[in-house]
Structure 1
Amino acid sequence: MSTEVRSGVSPRRPSPGAPMGRLRYGVILGLVLVGLGLLVGRVVVLHVLDRPFLQGQGDARTLRTDSLPAHRGMIADRHGEPLAISTPVVTLWANPQDVPEDPIQRVQLATALGVDLEALNERLARYSEREFMYLRRQMTPEAAQRVLDLRVPGVYRQDEYKRYYPAGEVAAQLLGVTNVDDMGQEGLELAYQPYLAGTPGLRRVLKDRRGRLVRDLEVLREAKPGGELTLAIDQRLQYMAYRELKAAVAEHDADGGVVVMLDARTGEVLAMANQPSYNPNNRAGLDPQGLRNRAIVDPYEPGSVVKPLAMAAMIEHGGIDPDRVVDTAPGWMVIDGFTIKDILNYRDLDLAGILRKSSNVGMSRLALSLDEPVIPQLYRRLGFGQPPGTGFPGEAAGEVPAPVRWSSSQWAALSYGYGLSVTPLQLASAFTAIANEGRLLQPSLLRLNEPVAGEQVISSAVARRVLEMMDKVVEPDTGARRAEVPGYRVAGKTGTVRKTGAGGYQENAYRGFFVGIAPVSDPRIVTVVMIDHPRGDAYYGGAVAAPVFSRVAGSALRLLDVPPDRRDLVKVE
């Protein structure tokens, strides 16, 4: 054993200046410098070479493009009165993962939202794995702010618009409705959805990882409001038509009804009322039957109201002498095993008398004397059997049977309004040809800014002759006497039709019609009234539909400032 060990003295360590110390120091320093170089290089790579990629990844996690809702265009009547407008509302949503479980806050939140606490807790639990759920849609800004003032974590707002209909049920079927996302679902709201909806805008925002808005950055595209739609409807006339129709349906315990009023000079739809109806501002308990715009989408057998049109066809195209007299005795006739009846045995009737007495026998004998199907041909020229072209969703074409192997009974039935189907709008449109010197006007739901020429479908002389015949139908001793309008001459025609069912025509189930033109001296309006299945003894068109026409037409003529043309019917107060 060496002397150093024995004496207990430790061996000498090499000094830093020794070769081994310098080597160790150099290695450590080199490692530090390499690490520092790698770190600096990585920083350079991240901030220079990879900067676009990393910035894009960061933006993808924080920058969002949100939609800016576009204000839906207003629907107005012909005078600019609003029929459908959009109002700002607030939708509240929540991130269920951020909503605290504190019972006091939950109670406050449920109370402010106006919902049941148990139901709220159940929904929050059901969406607990998600980051989004609606709390309540389309609240008023004031009500929503009361909720937001609670400052419950995880509760946020979203600005939207809600459609409001000032006229309520009065024009519901014509206007239609929008859904909760302000998209058109029925009626004109659906037909003009792209035009009314406008174009949503875009904005760039900064959000945190939970999707919460941190800051608005910029607007990428401004929202473009929807266009405004101006209807031909006159809101004043619409209110009156609806009021009178609703009262008549209730009075006769009917299934429903329709009133359509057209401008006799332009074809514009001044009023279109339906029963049953609904309140588009509150759809709780909505009856689906109330959604149907029966005036446009439901065709019916018209019955005797089309006799003036058939008469015009027979005079103009069938060569029937306007002064011809027809023997209708004994008040009935049998064709192909079917019995055609009049109410009474009217014996000899001229053409005006046939319309005045509404003689089915007289119309049938005239029709069977023709060699050509002039009646259905004119029906088609008047628009029957084809959509009226209003653009309304689901508008019906109706039906005029093709002249293939017709029997004599079918030939006759077309002359008194059976065997075909038309909508009330088609019927009103057809009578613009009688009111307008033989020129047919296409119906328009939108206000027209230019005069319309119309299509000449019958001669002006025949149109005037038929109008005069219809004038004699509405007199004190006729079944249409209840259609008289004080101060005005009225041309009209009643109709009463049996309803059809699974087994054919039903017993004791009718539709009552009236079509009227006023005033006769210078026609301004054409109006069709239909009462569906009136119950009780009064079911004829002259008893249930004619009085509605009288009240609606009288109010309309006064509002339109049409001068009276019949002094003997002016009421003296």
Structure 2
Amino acid sequence: MAEVRFKGRVAVLVSVVALVFVGIASRLALLHLRPAEWVLEPIEEGRMYETKPMGSRGRIVDRNGEILAMDLAAYHVYVDPKYIAEHGDPDTVCRYLSQEFRIPESEIREKLNRTNRQYERIKKFVPGHQLKRFTRKNLGLLYTVADDRGSETNIYLRGVGLEEAPIRNYPKGPLMAHVVGFSNQEGVGSAGIEQRMDAYLRGKEGLRISKKDGRRREIYSARTVDIKPEDGATVTLTLDQQLQYVVEKTVEKTCREFNAKAAWAIVQHVRTGEILAMASFPTYDLNRYAKAPAEWRRNRAISFNYEPGSTMKAAVIAAALDNNIVSEDDVFDCENGYWVYGGKSLRDSHGEGEISVAEIIKVSSNIGTAKIALQMGNQLVYDSLKKFHFGERFNVGIPGEEGGIFYSPKHWSKISVTRIGMGHEIGVTALQIVSMMSAIAYNGVQMQPYVVKKVVAPDGAVLEENKPKVLGRPITPGVARRMQNLLASVVMDEGGTGSKARVAGYTVGGKTGTAQKIRPREEGGGYYAKNFTSSFVGFLPVEAPELCIVVVADDPGTYTDTGRKTGYYGGTVCGPAFKEIAEFAVRYLRIAPDGNRIYVAGPDDE
């Protein structure tokens, strides 16, 4: 009886154990063959391979296709501390990465000691050409080492990888720095064209979804989504690399030779409004923009407001002629260089008696111009200068453009009209001055200035294209032609203030400017006695103007032993710079003395 009971108990126990194993087997079969969602989810997440490749940033090129900005292949060098601790050789990794990238071994070892992490960056943005010793291999890199005999050995660095991270490269360095601008390390345009055209230049992100194997490699056959990235568009500028180079060197030379704080220049095509060159000094290397002081990165040609001095006389006298207030032959008494009006004195650098309007322009008489402006009246002077778009931005296509400072007559004092006529009590940019003179040169037609010629997508589609556009007609063609001849006397005739801007074989028209700089209110206000902004703006050839050039220098000049300042007049400082730029430009652009030949197309309405 006892034996029967024992056998029964054994049978029950065996049955229970069998049932348990059957249950476990069933559960295992269920989990493997038809696993629940909560089981699959973490597994699938671990096997998921997802990447979002970014298209290359578009290029910036000059009008002839010369590359000014482009993306270069570069990589972040990283390590997987967890994998290296389990499968690699930390000492070997430390030694060779330190040797190759000149990073202290202690710094690399500190990152390798973080064995709970799978990603630690060793060096960022390494150009591809600096990684020739490395070859990618599964879960690591092959590092080629040469011994003293020249024999090469491959060292397998497990757990070391390369991550694509393109860098922006500027092949021309500082050339066109203030126009091209730069993008930061995140690929975002942060200055110049890089900033303004960022939406076009930035590549579009792609998407790739797949699965990876046990070695974390993609299983290509499992790829479910593959949206390719798109490269950014190419931006073509109106600027010419060769002309820009000469302008930059000339501006730098002017700044150094005349001890100026800064200098800048613009070359504009008269009949289209295209900016062919725009330079500012001090400048900086775009590839090292972070090391340049903020003031050096400033595009003074469009962002520096200054009182223009006598260059403004060209606009005021043109308006007086256009409104029949005066004629070229009308005579004004220039008071032998000293005149008092409204309780304030006004002087000329060279005293003159009774001279004609034509001579007032030629010798740049402040008193003569002030009397012409006074005869015009406040409202007419204001309205006439507004027709030239003073006090307004042109939206030339570069960030940072200023609109100048030009208050309405209700804010003027009794003497304001006499000062505005000679270029005081009004703030302008060099772009506004060159545009004003271009309008006179183009028979009274003012064109829209612009620096971006077109934007083209990688597939060749034109996304944006700028063409010559008329802004307005501030003066009539007849008056413009009379002004062209009057301004030619400034340069070509004996006694003209712009004689140093002459170009052999060509007739040049232009106007000098020398203005005292404003003293800040915290320093007492008014004007500095010995600090000036000097400039020259001109066009050529007068017979059929093609180019207009402005050169500006901030506080040039040197002091004598007696404390007298010399070498600061616009004709002395900026006239020769204009000449140097113009001499190259007419040869390079093949402009004949009568203006018949140039490679830039004219506007559609010609």
TM-score of the aligned structures, taking structure 1 as reference length: 0.90
Equivalent residue, structure 2, for 1:9: none
Report the CA distance shift for 1:99/1:41 in structure 2 as closer, same or farther (over 3 A): closer
Match of 1:225 in 2: 231
1:553 alignment counterpart: 582
Does residue 489 of structure 2 align to residue 475 of structure 1? no
Matches within 5 A, 1:411-430: 411-430=417-436
The 1:498/1:154 distance shift into structure 2, 3 A limit, reads farther
> Which residue pairs with 2:33 in the alignment?
47
Structure 1 unaligned blocks of 5 or more: 1-11, 567-573
- Work out which of the residue numbers 96, 99, 107 in structure 2 matches 1:108: 96
* Native 8 Å contact 2:92 2:157 kept in 1: no
1:333 CA displacement: 1.2
Equivalent position to 1:177, from 182, 188, 203: 182
Aligned to 1:8: none
State how far apart, in whole Å, the 2-side matches of 1:124 and 1:340 are: 76
**Cross-structure match for 1:525:** 547
Give the conservation status (yes or no) of the 8 Å contact 2:58–2:202. Answer: yes
For residues 206 and 112 of structure 1, the distance between their equivalents in structure 2, rounded to whole angstroms, comes to 34
The alpha carbon displacement at 1:531 in A equals 1.3
Q: Does the residue aligned with 1:282 lie in a helix, a strand or coil? A: helix
SS of equivalent residue, structure 1 residue 401:
coil
CA distance in 1, matches of 2:98, 2:119: 17
Segment of structure 1 superposing worse, 237-246 or 319-328: 319-328
> Which residue is 2:198 aligned to?
193
The match for 1:132 is 119
Select 1:74's aligned residue among 53, 59, 63. 59
Residue equivalent to 1:7: none
Q: Map residues 25-36 of structure 1 onto 2, 5 A cutoff.
A: 25-26=11-12, 28-33=14-19, 35-36=21-22
User: Partner of 1:149 in structure 2?
Assistant: 142
Q: Distance in 2 between matches of 1:550 and 1:128?
A: 68
Decide whether the 8 Å contact of 2:54 with 2:203 is kept in 1.
no
Query: Structure 1 residues 48 and 119, CA, compared in 2 at 3 Å: closer, same or farther?
Result: closer
Q: Relative to 1, partners in 2 of residues 1:159 and 1:105: Cα closer, same or farther, differing over 3 Å?
A: closer
Residues 90 and 324 of structure 1: is their aligned pair in 2 closer, same or farther, counting only changes over 3 Å? same
| 1:201-247 deviations in Å (ceiling 9; x for gaps) | 222354689xx842254462101000000100011110110111111
Indicate conservation of the 8 Å contact 2:55/2:206, yes or no: yes
C-alpha contact (below 8 Å) 1:69/1:160 kept by paired residues: no
Change in 2 beyond 3 A, CA 1:213/1:139: farther
Pick from 361, 366, 382: which aligns with 1:355? 361
Secondary structure of the residue aligned to 2:246 is: helix
Q: Is 1:248 aligned with 2:254? A: yes
Comparing 518-527 with 319-328, greater Cα deviation is found at: 319-328
Residues 1:284 and 1:227: Cα distance change in structure 2 (over 3 Å) = closer
**In structure 2, what is the equivalent of residue 95 of structure 1?**
80
* 1:78-102 deviation line (CA, Å, top 9, x unaligned): 1111111111112212234445684
Separation in 1 of the partners of 2:216 and 2:329? 84
Shift of 1:306: 1.2
Alignment of 1:381-460 (within 5 A): 381-447=387-453, 450-460=467-477
Q: In 1, are the aligned partners of 2:213 and 2:219 still within 8 Å (CA)?
A: no
Provide the C-alpha distance between the structure 2 equivalents of 1:335 and 1:196, rounded to a whole number of angstroms.
56
- Of the structure 1 ranges 150-159 and 233-242, higher mean CA displacement relative to structure 2 is found in 150-159
Between 400-409 and 90-99, report the one with greater CA deviation.
90-99
The C-alpha deviation readout for 1:256-287, integer Å capped at 9, x for no partner, is 11010111011011000110001112347423
Specify which of 288, 296, 301 is matched with residue 307 of structure 2: 301
Contact 1:368 1:408 (C-alpha < 8 Å) held by counterparts: no
Partners of 2:168 and 2:326 lie apart in 1 by: 56
Shift, 1:318, TM fit: 6.1
Deviates more, 1:279-288 or 1:385-394: 279-288
Q: Return the alpha-carbon distance in structure 2 between the equivalents of residues 321 and 476 of structure 1.
A: 20
Partners of 1:204 and 1:501 lie apart in 2 by 64
Q: What is the deviation of 1:557?
A: 1.3
The worse-fitting range, judged by mean Cα deviation, of 479-488 and 130-139 is 130-139
Task: Judge conservation of contact 1:175–1:187 (CA < 8 Å) in 2.
Answer: yes
- Cα distance between partner residues in 2 of 1:121 and 1:534: 56
Residues 376 and 96 of structure 1, relative CA distance in 2, 3 Å threshold: farther
Is 266-275 or 365-374 further displaced after alignment? 365-374
- Alignment CA distance shift 1:500-1:64 (3 Å): farther
CA distance in 1, matches of 2:46, 2:344: 80
- The answer on whether the counterparts of 1:92 and 1:144 sit within 8 Å (CA) in structure 2 is no
User: Does the aligned pair in 2 maintain the 1:435–1:463 contact within 8 Å?
Assistant: yes
Matched, 1:333 2:339: yes
Query: Alignment RMSD, CA only?
Result: 2.4
Residues 452-480 of structure 1, C-alpha deviations (whole Å, 9 max, x = no match) = 34422211111111111111100252221
Aligned counterpart, 2:513: 495
- Secondary structure of the 2:247 match is helix
Which range moved further: 485-494 or 470-479?
Answer: 470-479
C-alpha spacing 1:437/1:91, structure 2 compared with 1 (3 Å): same
Query: Paired residue for 1:506, among 513, 528, 539?
Result: 528
Cross-structure match for 1:366: 372
Which deviates more from structure 2 when the two are superposed, residues 217-226 or residues 446-455?
Answer: 446-455
Change (3 A) 1:541 1:110: same
Structure 1 residues 253, 427: closer, same or farther in 2, change over 3 A?
A: same
Q: Tell me the CA shift for residue 449 of structure 1.
A: 5.9
Instruction: For 1:498 and 1:181, locate their aligned partners in 2 and report how far apart those are by CA, in whole Å.
Output: 44
Structure with higher Rg: it is: 1
